[in-house]
Amino acid sequence: METEQFNDVLLESAKEVFETMIFMELAKADEPFDPKDDDSLLGTITFTGDMDGCLAIGCTVDCAKNVAANMLGMDPDEQVSSADVNDAMGEVANMVMGSVKSRIQEQYTNIQVSIPSVVSGRKLENSLGEKARRTALAINIEGDFTAELSILYRMHETATQAGLANKEVSVNAADPSTN
């Protein structure tokens, strides 16, 4: 799958998750996500099968707290524990991955997803070694926060060929400019 297609799939998936489960608006951001020296979180989930890789959502701790509070239906002035914040970010990664998977399952039928994990720190980035491709997309949450969705992936030979042969059935067939 081309990285451009992946970005569209990522955006649609994240929109669905944020709008139906988190009750927050999500849109493509004009500026890249730059946490500077703020503490950030990276919610990740790995997958194996026709394609190996890792999906991640990175944002500042402040943003993650807001997302978690919304998911849990808490008042804005209530304190969210860091355990809840981590759990929520892991579940966001899990749901976005689930949504991505259902959108690409015609091309990639065999994809197994792991249990999500969350790391915190500064300037976090994931890597997957040689021959891996990375696609990243800056998103805006509720107009208040910029965050980043990314997928690192490594295609298997046979899946790459199947992917090329099946281009017409790809998820963003509605947008001819990307085909």
Q: Which residues bind another protein (CB under 8 A)?
A: 16-17, 20-21, 68, 71-73, 83-84, 87-88, 90-91, 94-95, 97-99, 101-102, 105, 109, 113-115
Write down the least CB distance from residue 67 to another protein, Å. 10
**Residues 53/128, Cβ–Cβ less than 8 Å:** yes
3-state helix, strand, coil split of the chain in percent (to 5) is 40, 30, 35
Nearer to another protein, 73 or 176 (CB): 73
CB of 27 to another protein, least distance (A): 17
Residue 50 Cβ vs another protein, minimum distance, rounded to whole Å: 12
* Residues 1/107, Cβ–Cβ less than 8 Å: yes
Give min distance, CB of 178 to another protein, in A.
24
Q: Which two tokens stand for residue 76?
A: 């804005």
50 vs 156: CA distance, rounded Å = 6
Name the residue nearer to another protein (CB basis): 51 or 71. 71
CA-closest candidate to residue 39, choices 107, 140, 151, 124: 124
Question: Which residue lies nearer to another protein by CB, 4 or 62?
Answer: 62
Q: Tell the residue number behind the tokens 């669905």, with chain if given.
A: 16
Q: Which is nearer to another protein, 35 or 90 (CB)?
A: 90
